[in-house]
Amino acid sequence: MKNRLCTFLFITLILGAFGISGCGKEIYRDGTYTGTSSLDDTGAYGEVHLTIAAGKIRQCRFVTWQKNGTIKDEDYGKVNGEISNQDFYEKAQLAVRAMERYAVQYVEVQDLKKVDAVSGATIAYHQFIEAVEQALEKAH
Alpha-helical segments (H) within the chain: 2-21, 86-109, 122-139
Confidence at residue 25, expressed as pLDDT on a 0 to 100 scale: 62
pTM of the model: 0.80
Query: For the domain with range 26-139, which CATH number is right: 3.40.50.300, 1.20.1250.20, 3.50.50.60, 3.90.1010.20?
Result: 3.90.1010.20
Q: Where do the domains of the chain lie?
A: 26-139
pLDDT of residue 20: 39
Give 10-residue mean pLDDT values along the chain (140 residues).
48 44 67 97 96 96 96 95 96 95 97 95 96 96
pLDDT for the residue numbered 27: 86
DSSP summary character for residue 69: S
What pLDDT score does 12 carry?
46
Which H helix or E strand runs over 133?
A: helix 122-139
